[in-house]
Amino acid sequence: MLRTNRDRVVKWSVQGKVHHPTGGGYRITHEGIPMVLPATGGISYNVHIGDLAFGWAGDHVEPGVSIRNEDKNENAALTTFACIGNKAKIISGDAKGKLGYVTGTHGGIEHTMIHFDECILEDLCIDDKIIIQAYGQGLQLLDYLDIKVMNIDPDLFEQLEIAECDGKIHVPVVAIVPPYLMGSGIGAASSYTGDYDIMTADVDEIKRLHLDKLKFGDFVLLQDCDNTYGRGYLKGAVSIGVVVHSDCVKMGHGPGITTIMTCKKSLIDPIIDHNANITHYMKKLSRS
């Protein structure tokens, strides 16, 4: 097992409430067609972590439950310190006391997404409060300090079946994404919050790379993508991320990726594993 500083990582509280969907006007597709579609926010009753991220009659659809804190500074803390795999607890309303886990954060709309079992969704309401045990920011790999870890719960991280060989780590991923496909969100000042999108207007290229099979919660490797101090291109850099929202109709957009690891050097290699999804590892964690 990789040596980490998990015993020194602070676990604390962040909180938000189920955020009502906003907007409702036309969205212009990359082919210039105006469409009215469900998009971000609210409770997605039939879109779950583990489902295909493609094919929905929607745009930037967020699986499960989307929460936000209406205080801008408090929401910045929520989206920065809530990490994938963190425990989330409903603390108001008919579903009070029920548990779920964080599945990612979405920049622009500044949402944090949470998975709850389907039976719990029926009892949730807009504005119900949810508290998260934020745990993960500050996690380090003690033998690979050039690799930055972010946005992932240490308990989940330890389930990823990462191997070590020849001074590198080998990480299970579903697919490899070339840098020329990374779009909306690139150039952001920080990768410790939000996401950035795989552009999908070139359908033939997406199919050639088998990216059209991506699911919510899949782990992917981003080639030549440096997420150390923001998001940009750097030859030889490697990042690992998780699919957090659906494909999109807008130009420059597509499935969103929240970063969990990045390195300016080529110290991360992929292991192609079609089970490399949050759902797989969270099930393992619940049995351990």
DSSP for 249-278, please give it: SSTT--SEEEEEEEESSS-EEEEE-TT-BH
Domain ranges of the chain: 8-135, 148-287
Which residues are 64's β-sheet partners?
A: 44
DSSP for 189-206, please give it: S-SSSS-EEBP-S-HHHH
pLDDT in tens, the chain (288 residues): 799 999 999 999 999 999 999 888 888 888 888 989 889 999 999 999 999 999 999 899 999 999 999 999 999 999 999 999 999 999 999 999 999 999 999 999 999 999 999 999 999 999 999 999 999 999 999 999 999 999 999 999 999 999 999 899 999 999 999 999 999 999 999 999 999 999 999 999 999 999 999 999 999 999 999 999 999 999 999 999 999 999 999 999 999 999 999 999 999 999 999 999 999 999 877 766
Indicate the CATH number for domain 8-135.
2.40.10.170
Burial class (CB in 10 A: 0-12, 13-18, 19+), 238: buried
Integer Cα distance of 49 and 26 in angstroms: 27
Integer Cα distance of 281 and 286 in angstroms: 9
Nearest Cα neighbor of 76 from 227, 228, 189 is: 189
Q: What is the pTM of this model?
A: 0.95
Indicate the CATH number for domain 148-287.
2.102.30.10
Task: Name the token pair of 28.
Answer: 């212009």
Integer Cα distance of 288 and 270 in angstroms: 25
Which residues are 44's β-sheet partners?
A: 64
Integer Cα distance of 244 and 45 in angstroms: 16
